Amino acid sequence: MSTPTAAKPLPRTGLADVQGSADQRNVAIDKVGVKNVRYPITLKECGGGEQSTIASINLYVSLPKHKKGTHMSRFLEILNHHHRCITPAQIIPILHEMKTRLMASDAHIAMSFPYFIEKSAPVTGARGLMDYNCSFEGSSNGKDDFILEVKAPATSLCPCSKEISARGAHNQRCEITARVRFTGLLWIEDLVNIMEAAASAPVYAVLKRPDEKFVTEQAYDNPKFVEDIIRDLAIGMESDPRITWYSIESENFESIHNHNAYAQIERWKTEPMT
């Protein structure tokens, strides 16, 4: 004969709270929540405007060993409350609200989204929108943490090829990635400027023939190995007093080799550069 189970407490709706019931397996869960939520968000721009985009969002909290489940709908309720204007400064309050609403000790958020910046061509001034893949990552588990990530395409031109070739030099697209912790206010546009300055030349959405001539010659006059890009980017990160930690990388998609070139640096700015 089976032993009857205890009646589950009924909330004010009169419906059983299954997620809030006890669990007897004594296994805590590090992260539980919702993943790949496609959601419209509005971001503040450096120039004072706002930009609407679509984010893919992950929201997690920890779950103690004695609790059966978390309340998934509350993640979306919290998101609904904040989505109209998302800024890095809002991430930590969102995490605190997640911990309070879901009675958790740890909370995590990751949202990735395209961000568009209008750029003018260097000679004709022709305007076009460049898209950059960005993300906000935050956690609150005894201490609060926030990381901004930006990926920027750029041009690199090989110094060796230029030196040994009688005609031209091979160049390629590269993808530069920067993940930063910072104090104060750091705009995505600020980080993009630092990243693009480290390459042989930036790339643009719209180029007329005078612009193509300019950026081709700019890259030729500014050849860089992947090692040069990452070192110059590190110097740029060091020069911005708002940035306290960075993890930077460059991947050059080689045009004459069947492989990519790669370099990476990660450091707290309190540590010496070795």
pTM for this structure?
Answer: 0.88
Is 12 within the bounds of a domain?
Answer: no
Q: For residue 219, give the nearest of 197, 201, 194, 204 by alpha carbon.
A: 201
23 within domain boundaries: no
The structural domain count of the chain equals 1
pLDDT-derived band at 25, boundaries 50, 70, 90: confident
Output DSSP code: residue 67.
Answer: B
| Position 117 in a domain | yes
pLDDT attached to residue 7: 39
Give the pLDDT confidence score for residue 94 in this predicted structure: 93
Can you give the pLDDT at residue 3? 42
Distance between CA 273 and CA 268 in Å, rounded? 9
Over residues 39-55, mean pLDDT: 91
| pLDDT at residue 99 greater than cutoff 80 | yes
- Give the pLDDT confidence score for residue 26 in this predicted structure: 87
Confidence of residue 15 (pLDDT cuts 50, 70, 90): low
Return the number of other C-beta atoms located less than 10 Å from residue 259's C-beta. Answer: 8
**What does the pLDDT read at residue 1?**
39
The answer to whether position 250 is within a domain reads yes
How far CA 161 is from CA of 76, 173, 183, 215, in Å, comes to: 53, 15, 41, 18
First to last CA, the chain: 71
| pLDDT, average across residues 101-107 | 94
The reply to whether 224 falls in a domain is yes
* 105-109 average pLDDT score: 96
Q: Are 233 and 191 in contact (CB under 8 A)?
A: no
Over residues 223-249, the pLDDT tens digits come to 999 999 999 999 999 999 999 999 999
Asked, for residue 8, whether it belongs to a domain, the answer is no
pLDDT of the residue at 69: 85
SS3 (DSSP) at 244: strand
DSSP 126: -
Give the integer Cα–Cα distance in Å for 93 and 71: 19
Quick one: pLDDT at residue 182? Answer: 96
What CATH number is given to the structural domain containing 68? Answer: 3.10.270.10
The range of the structural domain enclosing residue 103 comes to 30-268
What average pLDDT does the chain have?
A: 90
Asked if the structure places residue 9 within a domain, the reply is no
Mean pLDDT score, 121-138: 97
Sequence-distant (6+) residues with CB within 8 A of 14 are none
Length in residues, the chain: 274
Residue 235 lies in a domain: yes
Cβ atoms within 10 A of the Cβ of 127, count?
A: 12
Residue 36 has pLDDT above 80, yes or no: yes
* Nearest-10 crossing angle of helices 88-102, 72-82: 150
162-171 pLDDT, tens digit per residue, is 999 988 888 8
Digit-coded pLDDT (tens) for 172-210? 999 999 999 999 999 999 999 999 999 999 999 999 999
Supply the pLDDT for residue 6: 42
